Every structure is written in C-alpha cells, then in structure tokens.
Amino acid sequence: MNLAEIKAIIASIEPAEDETDRLRQYAAVLNEISPSPELADKTARLLAERLNI
C-alpha cells in the first residue's frame, strides 16, 4: 500500500466521539493498513492527527 492509498483510508475515517473508542479505532486501522516500515511512522502520525489523539 502506498502513501496516497493510506491517506485516502485515513481521510475516510469518521472519528468516534469517545476517546477510548478513538484509541480502539487507531489500533484497528493500523492493524488493517499494516504499513510498510518506511511508512509506519508517517501513517501513525496521520492517523493520530485524524483521530485527535
């Protein structure tokens, strides 16, 4: 999966209202995306930003 695809997936996520649920979303999406090592940090930062965590 490339960065453009990862960004599209992250942009499509509707953050949960509850912080605990957002943390669960974070873990589930990272597990689903399984970014390559070179994209892992960028993916984690983009996802955290989208979920406001």
Mean pLDDT of all residues belonging to the chain: 95
Confidence of residue 44 (pLDDT cuts 50, 70, 90): very high
pTM of the predicted protein model: 0.88
Section 40-48 average pLDDT: 96
pLDDT number for residue 47 = 97
Quick one: what percent of the chain has pLDDT higher than 70?
100
Distances (CA, A) of 42 to 18, 21, 32, 34: 24, 22, 16, 12
Section 2-21 average pLDDT: 96
pLDDT number for residue 1 = 87
Euclidean distance between CA atoms 37 and 25, whole angstroms: 20
